[in-house]
Chains A and B, each alone.
Chain A
Amino acid sequence: MAARTPDTTGPGGRSVFTADCHAAPAGRQAPSGSATVALVGCPNVGKSAVFRMLTGVRAGVGNYPGTTVAVGNGAWKLDTGKLEPAQTVAALDLPGTYSLDPISPDEELVRDLLNDDHPDLVLAVVDAVNLSRSLYLVAQLREQARRIVIALTMTDVASRRGIEVDAAKLARAIGTPVVVVDGRRSTPPRGLAQAVETALLSAPTPARASRRGANQPPCCTAEVLGDTTPPPNATDEPDQFAAAAERFSWIALVEQAAVTTPRTPITTRSDRIDRIVCNRWLGPVIFLAAMFAVFMITTKVAAPLQEALGALVDGPVTSMITAAFGWFGADDTIAAHFVIDGVIAGVGAVLTFIPLMILMFGLLAMLEDSGYLARAAVVADRLMRAVGLPGRAFIPVIVGFGCNVPAVAGTRVIPNARHRLLTVLLLPFVSCNARLTVYVLVGTTFFGSNAGYVVFAMYVLSVALVVVVGRLLRSTVLRDIPREPLMIDLPPYHLPAVRLVGAVTWQRLRAFLKTATGIIVITSALVWVLSATPGLGTHQTGSAAGFGNVSVSDSVYGQVSRAVAPAFNPAGFGNWQAASALITGFVAKEAVIAAWAQTYATSEPTDVGQPGALGDSLRADFGESSDGHTIAAVLAFMVFLLAYTPCLTTVAAQRREIGTKWTVFGMGMQLTVAWVLAVVVFQVGSLL
Chain B
Amino acid sequence: MRAQSTVAESPVDLVLAALDGGATSRRSIARHADLSDDLASAVIDQLIRGGQLKSESLAFGCPPKGCGDCGAASAARPACLSGGRGTDRPVLVILSRDKPNGQ
What is A's interface to B at a CB cutoff of 8 Å? Answer: 64, 98-99, 101, 103, 129-133, 135-136, 163, 222, 227-229, 239-241, 244-246, 248-249, 251-253, 255-256, 259-261, 263, 265, 271, 274, 278, 361, 364-365, 368-371, 373-374, 377-378, 381, 391-392, 395, 398-399, 402, 406, 409-410, 412-413, 484-494, 497, 500, 504, 507-508, 510-511, 514-515
* A373 vs B27: C-alpha distance when bound (angstroms): 18
> Considering only CB atoms, which chain A residue lies closest to B55 in the complex?
A489
- Per the bound structure, the CA–CA distance linking A248 and B38 in Å amounts to 12
Residues of chain A lying within 8 A (CB to CB) of residue B24: 278, 378, 381, 486-488
**Residues of chain A within 8 A of B91, CB atoms compared:** 491
Closest-by-CB residue of A relative to B25 is: A490
A131 nearest CB neighbor, chain B only: B38
CB <8 Å contact, B2 and A488? no
> Which are the 3 A-B pairs with shortest beta-carbon distances?
A491-B90, A511-B72, A132-B42
Q: CB distance A249 to B60 under 8 Å?
A: no
Residues of A within 8 Å of B11, CB to CB, are 245, 248-249, 251-252
Residues of B within 8 A of A241 (CB): 12, 50, 52, 100, 103
Contact of B61 among A246, A508, A510 (CB under 8 A): A508
- A494 close to B10 (CB less than 8 A): no
Find out whether the CB atom of A412 lies under 8 angstroms from the CB atom of B64.
yes
A488 touches B19 (CB 8 A): no
State how many angstroms separate the Cβ of B22 from the closest Cβ of chain A: 6
| B90 A374 Cβ-Cβ under 8 A | yes
A491 touches B38 (CB 8 A): no
Residues of B within 8 A of A261 (CB): 1-2, 36
Let me know if A511 and B10 touch, CB within 8 A.
Answer: no
B2 proximity list for chain A (CB < 8 A)? 261, 263
> Considering the complex, which residues of chain B in the window 22-53 have a beta carbon less than 8 Å from any beta carbon of chain A?
22-27, 29, 35-39, 41-43, 45-47, 49-50, 52-53
Q: What separation, in Å, do the CA atoms of A263 and B38 have in the docked complex?
A: 14
Closest to B26 in A: A489
B58 (CB) vs chain A CBs: closest residue: A395
Name the interface size band of chain B. Answer: 35 or more
Query: Do A248 and B90 have beta carbons less than 8 Å apart?
Result: no
Q: Is the CB of A248 within 8 A of B71?
A: no
A369-B81, A486-B95, A507-B72 given; 18 more Cβ-contact pairs under 8 Å: A99-B46, A101-B49, A163-B38, A227-B7, A244-B12, A248-B12, A252-B5, A260-B1, A261-B1, A368-B60, A378-B24, A410-B63, A486-B24, A487-B24, A487-B29, A489-B93, A491-B92, A507-B73
Residues of A within 8 A of B75 (CB): none
A99: chain B residues within 8 A (beta carbon):
46, 49
| Majority DSSP secondary structure for residues of A touching B | helix
Inter-chain contact A413/B60, CB cutoff 8 Å:
no
A508 to B78, CA, bound (A): 11
Cα–Cα distance between A364 and B90 once the two chains are bound (Å): 14
Contact flag A373-B60 (CB < 8 Å), given A132-B38, A255-B39, A489-B93: yes
- Residue of B35, B95, B103 near A487 (CB, 8 A) is B95
A413 to B69, CA, bound (A): 14
**Can you name the residue of chain B whose Cβ is closest to the Cβ of A103?**
B49
Closest to A367 in B: B60
**Most chain B CB within a 10 A radius of its CB, from A131, A370, A486:** A486
* Contact A248–B39 (Cβ < 8 Å): yes
Contact A485 B20 (CB under 8 A): yes
What is the minimal beta-carbon distance from A188 to any residue of chain B, in angstroms? 26
Task: Provide 13 A-B residue pairs closer than 8 Å at the C-beta atoms, listed in order of the A residue.
Answer: A132-B36, A132-B43, A241-B50, A255-B36, A381-B24, A392-B94, A399-B62, A413-B58, A488-B24, A488-B92, A488-B94, A490-B26, A508-B79
Evaluate contact between A248 and B95: CB separation under 8 angstroms.
no
A490 contacts which chain B residues (CB < 8 A)? 25-26
Check B38–A500 contact: CB distance below 8 A. no
Cα(A391)–Cα(B95), bound, Å: 11
Are A514 and B25 in touch, CB under 8 angstroms?
no
Contact string against A for B residues 70-102, beta-carbon threshold 8 Å, 1 for contact and 0 otherwise: 111100000111000010011111111100100
